[in-house]
Amino acid sequence: MAKIAGLFLMLLLVGAANTNTQAASAEQSFYKGKTIRIIVGFAAGGGFDAYARAIARNLSRHIPGNPAVIVDNMTGAGSRIAANYLYKAPPDGLIIGNFIGSLVLQQIMGDKSVEFDGRKFEWLGVPVQDETVCGANDSDAPRILKAALGLPIQLIEGFKGTSNIRIAAEAGEVDGGCWTWASIRTTWSKGLESGLVKPIIQINPKKAADIPNVLIESGTHAPSAILRAYAVAPGTPKERINTLRTAFNATMKDPEFVAEMDKSKLEINPLSGSEMESIVKKLFGMDAANVAKIREVLVPKN
């Protein structure tokens, strides 16, 4: 009996190996000669764009068939246009969306401009879990700070990306902004070095080591963690989702990618697609009282 059981186990293992080989071969046949587009919801020159272009330069090595990977900037409405586009995009694994993952919170709040269901996206991961900091003025974070702390904030919206906010701040049109520290310290390093830019509030449960004395917890931790979301359209075949998730995770550990991030002074602190799914599930599991309270702060009254 022991010999028969051992033979049966060996046959199962051989069968599984053959199945994996066939799946890899099918994915190679699909992706060979194709082009993957990463749709970035913000303008060129900002933090989202910098991460996406670095990922695009390294992702192909980890996908069977080594397809070309390009970046397209699809700006507008705080990356809602890109997210809405991805939701209706062909589910073929050739379009990856990169938008603010915390837009799922806006869906929960009943934002009518959100034309997607965050529970149906196929999440690939995030390259970094962000720490949001403020130098005075990008939407949810300042609203929460204004309500919780009574800060005299006048919120100005409509910018196509953080690069545009930087330009406006340097021209004296706005006093500052709230977005991620990983982006600010890289794309606005000259302002930090000159003293023009000063971080005054950090919204995170743990203080970043290089920001002194600005820790404030404001209940935005989960949205910050999934901020730089990468996803594909609902209905994408499972084997293609697995291929892209595996490739994304491998890229985060790729020595060439890591070296490029170090050179650009961009952090890597990734979440996997399955970890993102768990966070999104928790957000949708909030009780009605919490939803109502957050809606009161985040949804402008007309």
pLDDT score of 171: 87
Cα gap 38→23, rounded to integer Å: 24
Residues in Cβ contact with 203 at an 8 Å cutoff, skipping those fewer than 6 apart: 131, 132, 133, 134, 141, 144, 145, 178, 216, 217, 218, 220, 224
Residue showing tokens 């939701």: 87
Q: Closest Cα to residue 107, out of 97, 98, 120, 117?
A: 117
Q: Any idea which architecture 23-130+224-298 has in CATH?
A: 3-Layer(aba) Sandwich (3.40)
Count of C-beta atoms within a 10 Å radius of residue 133: 26
What global pTM score does this model have?
0.70
Digit-coded pLDDT (tens) for 272-290: 999 999 999 988 888 888 7
Structure confidence at residue 242 as a pLDDT band (50, 70, 90):
very high
Digit-coded pLDDT (tens) for 201-237: 666 655 666 665 554 333 356 777 898 999 999 999 9
Question: Quick check: helix, strand or coil at residue 179?
Answer: strand
Mean pLDDT of 113-142: 81
Q: Which of 11-15, 79-83, 148-152, 240-244 has the lowest mean pLDDT?
A: 11-15
- What's the number of CA atoms in the CB half-sphere (13 Å) around residue 185? 16
Task: Answer yes or no: are the C-beta atoms of 163 and 73 closer than 8 Å.
Answer: no
The yes-or-no verdict on residue 7 having pLDDT over 70 is no
pLDDT score of 19: 57
Digit-coded pLDDT (tens) for 16-52: 556 566 666 778 889 999 999 999 999 999 999 999 9
The yes-or-no verdict on residue 2 having pLDDT over 70 is no
Structure confidence at residue 12 as a pLDDT band (50, 70, 90):
low
- Greater confidence (70 vs 139) lies with 70
DSSP 38-63: EEESS-TTSHHHHHHHHHHHHHGGGS
The yes-or-no verdict on residue 135 having pLDDT over 80 is no
Digit-coded pLDDT (tens) for 158-196: 787 788 888 888 888 888 887 777 778 888 888 888 888
Count of C-beta atoms within a 10 Å radius of residue 112: 6
Task: Answer yes or no: are the C-beta atoms of 96 and 37 closer than 8 Å.
Answer: yes
Cα gap 241→239, rounded to integer Å: 5
Domain boundaries, the chain: 23-130+224-298, 132-222
Mean pLDDT of 129-151: 66
Is residue 257 exposed (0-12), middle (13-18) or buried (19+ Cβ within 10 Å)? buried
Q: Which two tokens stand for residue 186?
A: 């890289």
Q: How far is CA 214 from the centre of its chain?
A: 24
Count of C-beta atoms within a 10 Å radius of residue 17: 10
- What's the number of CA atoms in the CB half-sphere (13 Å) around residue 165? 29
Digit-coded pLDDT (tens) for 287-300: 888 788 778 776 66
Structure confidence at residue 253 as a pLDDT band (50, 70, 90):
very high
Residue showing tokens 């050739």: 94
Phi, psi of 112 (to 5 degrees): -70, -15
Digit-coded pLDDT (tens) for 67-97: 999 999 999 999 999 999 999 999 999 999 9
